[in-house]
Chain A
């Protein structure tokens, strides 16, 4: 039961940090999931997060996998609800207010200001993530190859990630 309320608290809290996407919350997720609660080790968290990138729909549904590994199907359900419902209600409310906020001069300031902040938080998250994901030249080469292919071509990212898995099976055992 402790684990369940822990999952609910941790993931509802983390959800409010996802300005611009899930990566912004990754450093805090690592410190809670790996550090405070010892639910997973760093490598496991990086792996679960990466599998989330292959998922259709919202890639942060990886929280359900964390929940499952901690407390089975109930854990998965609680983690997903905690992560998606509270911010969902906030979004719903702001969506309804948005038209009325049109004349509020700070609306544009918030939008303009949070753009670069979201990018900065994502890069910071990615650096934390990369430290857990990049070990040695082969992983570095895979990351660069995928970066290049994504920027230069229109190939489906899920295929690139599957190719990463293939390289892993051959070269990273």
Chain B
């Protein structure tokens, strides 16, 4: 597999950053990096997604940083990140210009009420699908419920809930202890040697 130039990296991520309307950036990335350009293989791509999922930050930008670094070091990482972010930055700033100007306010607000309702359904569907695939067993259900109750019912702040439920979950899935070497019998054996 040959390594792309920094400009090629920027171009590739800029394209994905510009066409991935409606989310699902990871699917676009896999299609470009693994299937079409063949810069990384599926195994490495999966590794990058699992790093990206574990860390704060969005999948789109975390993946750009990680893949950019693997393919072009620090500069590659910055190039990929910039490419991924620029179109969205232009899109959302333009949305701000429109929203902040004196356009037909009741019309825009009505449209946005519909957009917000649709976004609620869309985000719910996304997490429903992730949950159906990845939640397993009593503990997982418990952690989901605990997070929801602590945030929405007990009104604890997000960082507090993340710390409490996060620590509890990591502890629940803590590394299994290695089998202890049989000290007792070893000692007896040494003693038995006199």
Contact = CB atoms under 8 A, between A and B. Distances in A.
B66 to A, nearest CB: 4
Nearest to A132: B116
A122 B85 contact: no
Interface in A121-155: 121-130, 132-135, 138-140, 142-148, 150-151
Interface residues of A, number: 109
A62 B95 CA distance: 9
Interface stretch (B1-9, B30-38, B171-179, B186-194): B171-179
Contact of A18 (B58, B124, B166): B58
Contacts of B109: 43, 47
Contacts of A11: none
Contacts, number: 366
Interface string B106-146: 11011111111111111111111111001100011101111
Contacts of A88: 57, 61-62, 65, 81
Contact of B61 (A84, A108, A145): A84
A100 interface: no
Contact of A60 (B58, B65, B123): B58
Given A112-B173, A122-B127, A161-B22, A53 B119 contact: yes
Contacts of A17: 56, 158-159, 162
Nearest to B77: A92
A61 B143 contact: no
A92 B110 contact: no
| Interface pairs A-B: 10 shortest CB-CB | A168-B114, A164-B118, A120-B147, A146-B121, A68-B96, A105-B175, A158-B22, A157-B22, A113-B169, A57-B88
Interface of B: 16-25, 47-48, 50-62, 65-66, 69-70, 74, 77, 81, 84-85, 87-89, 91-93, 95-97, 99-100, 106-107, 109-131, 134-135, 139-141, 143-148, 150-152, 157-159, 161-162, 165-166, 169-175
30 contacts: A15-B57, A18-B58, A19-B56, A19-B162, A19-B166, A28-B158, A52-B92, A55-B21, A55-B88, A56-B91, A67-B96, A76-B93, A84-B57, A84-B81, A87-B55, A95-B65, A113-B172, A115-B53, A116-B144, A120-B144, A121-B158, A129-B123, A134-B117, A139-B116, A142-B118, A143-B121, A147-B125, A160-B22, A161-B118, A165-B115
